[in-house]
Every structure is written in C-alpha cells, then in structure tokens.
Amino acid sequence: MSHLSSPPKKHKGEHKGHSLPHGSERGSSSRDKDRSATVSSSVPMPAGGKGSHPSSTPQRVPNRLIHEKSPYLLQHAYNPVDWYPWGQEAFDKARKENKPIFLSVGYSTCHWCHMMEEESFQNEEIGRLLSEDFVSVKVDREERPDVDKVYMTFVQATSSGGGWPMNVWLTPNLQPFVGGTYFPPEDGLTRVGFRTVLLRIREQWKQNKNTLLENSQRVTTALLARSEISMGDRQLPPSAATMNNRCFQQLDEGYDEEYGGFAEAPKFPTPVILSFLFSYWLSHRLTQDGSRAQQMALHTLKMMANGGIRDHVGQGFHRYSTDCQWHVPHFEKMLYDQAQLAVAYSQAFQISGDEFYSDVAKGILQYVARSLSHRSGGFYSAEDADSPPERGMRPKEGAYYVWTVKEVQQLLPEPVLGATEPLTSGQLLMKHYGLTEAGNISPSQDPKGELQGQNVLTVRYSLELTAARFGLDVEAVRTLLNTGLEKLFQARKHRPKPHLDSKMLAAWNGLMVSGYAVTGAVLGQDRLISYATNGAKFLKRHMFDVASGRLMRTCYTGSGGTVEHSSPPCWGFLEDYAFVVRGLLDLYEASQESAWLEWALRLQDTQDRLFWDSQGGGYFCSEAELGAGLPLRLKDDQDGAEPSANSVSAHNLLRLHGFTGHKDWMDKCVCLLTAFSERMRRVPVALPEMVRALSAQQQTLKQIVICGDRQAKDTKALVQCVHSVYIPNKVLILADGDPSSFLSRQLPFLSTLRRLEDQATAYVCENQACSMPITDPCELRKLLHP
C-alpha cells in the first residue's frame, strides 16, 4: 500500500473543475493530508547533509512526557529527547536560553507519526540535537486543536500541503518561521532528511536570527489579515438559492459516476457533503438536479458500504480509501467517522426506505458499542491502523483486518448443500467478497510487499448474482455469508488488536450522541436511544464543570476503567460546545426528555460568552485566555472530515430559536452567516454544512408539536411518524399539557394547543400559524411529506 512506504497524495478536499485557495483545505481530510517531507520556510534553506542511523538500543529512561495523560504524548515518553508538553515552562525556557522552539504535533493512531517517532525521535544523535539546540514541544492535536489549527495554517500557506506529523519551528514568542510534515531521518534523492533540517535551522538561528524574526513577523501579519472572517460592511448573508446551486454544481462536476464520491484517490467519506445533497434533494425533489443529488448521495453510500473501507467482518468504517474504488483502506477507525456515517445511513433509509442502509447504520453502532465504548457511557477516540500480524512481531498496517485464502478455507470448510457444483462455505464467501489466491491488493498499493497474498473483503456481486452463480436461494446465501463472517470475526479475536486511543473528547462524544439518538429515533429502537442518553450522562458527569458552566475537552481511561482528568483540566473548545449542543438537541427530539434541552440552552449561553466575536460575528475556535500567546485566533472555515463548529452552531442557533422563540439566537445566526458570506461566495463547496444552514435560515422552520403523554402509545405513534420522514429543517416538541414545564414557559403558544378528543394530537406550525389538529399518523405523514 502506497501509504506504508511513502505518504499518500495530498488530499485537500478539492473537487474536479475547481480548486480551493490556500488555507481552504484545513480540516478537509482532518488527519490524512500530505505527510511527505514538505518544508515551508520564511527564509531560504540551503541543501546538503546526511543523517545517522537510529541507535539499536535506545535508553529506556522516561522524559517528562511520562507524567502526561495523552496516549500520543505517552508514546514519546521514552524518546531520548528532552520533550516538553505545550505550556509556559517550555516558553520560559526558550526565552531565557534564546533558543528556537521545535513543535511536533500528531495523534496516537497516526501511521506517519509512528514512523517518524521510530526513525527520528528514537535516534540518539537526533535526540541530542533536539535537546541541546531547541526547546522541543510535543502536542496531541486532539487535545489542543487550537495549537494545531494555528500552525497548520502557516504550513499550508507556505508549502504545498499539510498533514501529520506536523513539525514547525517557532521563535520564543511562538511565531512560526519554518514548517513541514513527515521527514525521513536521512537525505534522499528528492527529500531532505530531518537531521539535515535541524542542522540548517541551528545554523540559521545563529547566523541570521534577526532575519528569521523579521520574516516570521511578516508572515504572521499576512496570515492574520488573510484568516480574518468578519461581517465587515455587509448586513445580510448571500442568497441561499444561489449558494445551494453553486455548491451542487461544484459537487456534480467532481462526482465519480462509477464508484461514487467526489475526489480521486485517496477518497474520503465526507458525510457533510452527503448531508448537503440530501437537503438539496428535498428542496429540489421535483427537478432533475434534485433527483441527481439524491442519486449521487445514495450511490456513494452504497459503494462505500460494499467497499473495503467498510469492515465487513467487525463493522464500522476505516478512515479513507487509498484508491477510487473504496477497495484498500487506510485501516485506522475514527469515532467521528462512525458518528456521522451512522446519521448519513439513517437518513438514506428515511429517504429510500431501503433496509440496506439501516442495516449499515446498525452495524456501525454495534461496532462502536463493542469496541469504542467506556463502561460509564463515554466513547473512545480511535483504533490504530497498525498491529502486529502475530504477537512479538513488528506492527504492520492492516494486519488485523486482512485475510489469506488459506485462512478462510481452513475456517469455512463445510460443503454447501444444493449448489450446482462442489462448493464450500469458504469458497462462497471468497467469491462474493473477491478474495484470490494471489491476494486482491495491487502491488502499487503495497510497494514493500507486506500484504502479499492478503485480501481485503469487498462486495463484488449482489446476493442475487452470487446465488444465481451457484444455483442457490438468495436467503440461503445471505445466511451462509453471515455465518461465515461471524466465524471470521471469532477467529480475528485471537489476533493482536490495534492500539486503542482511549482518550475521550467532548466534541466527538457529542457527535456520537447524535449518531445513536438520530439512528435510534429513525429506526424506532429505544435501545440505541439509551446509548445516546448514557453518552449525554457521561458528558454531564465527567466533562462538565458545574461551577463555571464550562465543558472540559478531554478525559481519559484510568486503571480499572476509571475516568481521569489532566491537571489542570483541558477546557473545551468551540467544537466541543457546538457538537455537544447538537447531540443534546438530537437526544431531546429522540427521547422527549426536556432536561437535555435545558442543558443545551445553558451550554449555548456559555458558548456565546466564551467564543462569540461581538465585533466581526461568528465564533472563534478557542477562548481568548486559553489561546493567549498564540499568534492567531481563528474561526474554523471548512466543513471537512468533521463539520466546521461554526456551521454546526448556525444550525444549533436556528433550532434553539425554534424551541424557545428567543430572537437573540436568530440574530446571532444571521450575523454568523453574514460573517462567512465571502467564504461561501468564493468556495461554497468548502462549506456545504453552512450552505445547508443558510438555506434553513432563509426558509421557514417547522415546529412540529405533539400534544400527549410521553409514554402513551398514541403519542409514540405520532412521534415515530415524524422520525420516519426526512425533515432536516424542523424542531419536534412534546407538549404534555403542564403549563409550568420548561417548554411551556419558553413558548406560551403551546398552552393554546389542545388534544382532540383526549387523543395524542399533532400540530405543524410555521410562521406563528399552526395546522389543523391531526391524530392519525398516516395523515400526519402526508402533511409532512406531500
């Protein structure tokens, strides 16, 4: 696989037919941008130099990272490098000793971070250089997304791309002057070695420090100007219809007709794009473009689910595909992908009625419950791509997930009765999932030959075709394949498992609460909604400070499954508030428990206080105090692997206005969308989730009110009817008749709505006018989905 020996091609989230400006790719692939040895600098760098070989017996003496909680920092705790965590101690040392800061940013399940740690940071000579001539700082990008975003902005602006590991050299005042991504330890034909880079920068700092400082200041000033997002003189956001059409046209131009998706290899899931296409279909469903948008999204979801990017044995989705067919993945599994894809597949089921999509959604959540869940209700961050093929061996990417023909034949030797030719269960499974004796991974994707003879399961034929090929009944084939996959799953349990990043992030836990709540509501499965409820309880118990009303960014799994925090705690960033508020609103609509709605309102108030830009509009990514000393305070401006927190906040503000009638939140939403006007006009495809919010703001939000008792059957039938229909621009409100209830106090008009003949009754309200009362779920469905 190409990403094992040399980094994959840069993925900026571009689409054929248009290009994104520098800096627009921030977050588009989130973890997997170009990791080649790109070097960006504000001064020229001469060539030359050779690296040294790593020491074969690295000293097992811990550095100060041994006291950290982050799994990523702990992976570097035995490097022969005098590492510091991000903080004042490191900055003071740099200023006192007048040394440049070497900042290295990554995350614990990053393949190329592992490579650089093994090749360079375990190297004794490189360790001495880093310790003697620099103040070396390690950052987990998932703990400190603000630090990551600021310096990634620099790297992307001054080089051909960005990615992780990200390595940046800073002045003692934290201004960047050289940056890059992965460096090999030694010079190659086309790449500069890490040792060479260190020696050059050491020399430049001694000889040309003033020039470095001046250029660093100049670059920082330019980045400040370029990254500013503000309302300026604008009073209103752009036309939603225009932005919608432009965004759709840009996606249409880049669409892969055969395999789905919107880019050449590597190919990423991008749920925000699928969500936009579904919304676009709903508002244009009588047009050719509307039908096209629906087909693009459904086909992409089907091809992904059939491809090797989906783990057919254990469920869940891998990070991305290294090819355009969704066949050979980068095997890392991220919580935020599972969360968003569960929602996307649930929406596909709402729209199409095809249980193929609901089965995929249930499989994702089954995987998360089994492999990424803490016993107290929280959700872990990720599983690594790498693991040892056998115990004691060196880890290889994908080793846990790939299969040889021999293994499958040994596990599934049973003959299949009734087939038109001699056939075993193993042969049936291998035919359906495309396994071959030579392996189904092309040599171009495996230049080191590590995966020779290995296979990634990918659906090659429909059940009907496989059944016809062997003269079997379709249901019999389905049963045989499921039984075979279960046997592979049980056998796989005996392999060494990939590393689990057991860090828990508020933002990703918020996304996962949404994943369980939305899927549970759509499918009418209370068991899934209970997982969402337990996740929300975990957030409130372990990641919320009652005294200050603030969220914490992280907590960690301690010994015996306990929950631990860093000291001092790492406070939440904008995305933590935005994603948790979204999760709580989704959970209220799924469960009708108003306590979650009340907490969402309180968190939104805190978010407004800590992050709102009262002058320019929109939200900053970080608190002013938390980011003190950083050269930039940014507003995230791209919907990528995760949606921009500003895009999610725009939706949250609209929904909160629908739940409460508070005009302030609608005003904030308009200001936010106005602040991002220029960005949306220039590249709407970079902000599909915000374009969706713009459409919702310029349309009329439906308030669907169900008057009834929460536990009554007739109430539940009306609620389930609402959840069965795809209506993104709505709020669902339960009015239980109690005038002192939270929602009755927020929306006085609820007291005027009555149950008809003592039955649960629905009202659909728009523009402060409500429909006639409806008691029949079928009639309600007709009204909601004409």
CATH of the domain at 748: 3.40.30.10
Predicted confidence at residue 584, as pLDDT, reads 98
Residue 22 reports pLDDT greater than 60: no
CB 365 within 8 A of CB 511: no
Tell whether 74 and 166 lie within a shared domain.
yes
**Which DSSP string do the residues of 574-592 spell out, in sequence order?**
HHHHHHHHHHHHHHHHHH-
Predicted confidence at residue 27, as pLDDT, reads 33
Asked whether residue 273 is domain-assigned, the answer is: yes
Tell whether 407 and 364 lie within a shared domain.
no
Q: 263 vs 646, which has greater pLDDT?
A: 646
Instruction: Characterize the bridge pairing of strands 554-557 and 504-505.
Output: antiparallel
> Running DSSP on this structure, what letter comes out for residue 622?
S
Asked whether residue 605 is domain-assigned, the answer is: no
Cis check for the bond before 568: say yes or no (omega within 30 of 0): yes
Tell whether 356 and 414 lie within a shared domain.
no
Tell whether 709 and 781 lie within a shared domain.
yes
Tell whether 267 and 122 lie within a shared domain.
no
pLDDT band at 626; cut points 50, 70, 90: low
Query: What is the pLDDT of the chain when averaged over all its residues?
Result: 91
Tell whether 219 and 76 lie within a shared domain.
yes
| pLDDT mean over 388-417 | 95
pLDDT band at 336; cut points 50, 70, 90: very high
Tell whether 211 and 70 lie within a shared domain.
yes
Asked whether residue 542 is domain-assigned, the answer is: no
Predicted confidence at residue 40, as pLDDT, reads 59
Asked whether residue 554 is domain-assigned, the answer is: no
Tell whether 308 and 365 lie within a shared domain.
yes
Tell whether 353 and 434 lie within a shared domain.
no
Residue 17 reports pLDDT greater than 70: no
- Considering the entire predicted model, what is its pTM? 0.92
Asked whether residue 34 is domain-assigned, the answer is: no
Asked whether residue 79 is domain-assigned, the answer is: yes
Asked whether residue 427 is domain-assigned, the answer is: yes
Give the tens place of pLDDT for each residue, 33-68. 434 445 555 544 433 333 333 444 445 799 999 999
Angle at 14 between CA 43 and CA 283, to 5 degrees: 140
Asked whether residue 13 is domain-assigned, the answer is: no
| 692-701 b/e (C-beta count within 10 Å ≥ 16 → b) | bbbbbbbeeb
Tell whether 339 and 459 lie within a shared domain.
no
Give the tens place of pLDDT for each residue, 154-181. 999 888 788 999 999 999 999 999 999 9
Give the tens place of pLDDT for each residue, 479-501. 999 999 999 999 999 999 999 99
Residue 3 reports pLDDT greater than 50: no
The number of folded domains in the chain is 4
Closest CA to 185 of 270, 114, 239, 126: 126
| pLDDT mean over 749-772 | 93
Query: At 326, which CATH number?
Result: 1.50.10.20
> Running DSSP on this structure, what letter comes out for residue 767?
T
Tell whether 318 and 435 lie within a shared domain.
no
- Segments forming the whole domain that contains residue 461: 401-493
How far are the Cα atoms of 62, 66, 104, 166, 566 from residue 78, in angstroms, in the given order? 5, 8, 16, 20, 20
Tell whether 200 and 120 lie within a shared domain.
yes
Residue 32 reports pLDDT greater than 50: no
Give the tens place of pLDDT for each residue, 512-559. 999 999 999 999 999 999 999 999 999 999 999 999 999 999 999 988
Predicted confidence at residue 786, as pLDDT, reads 65
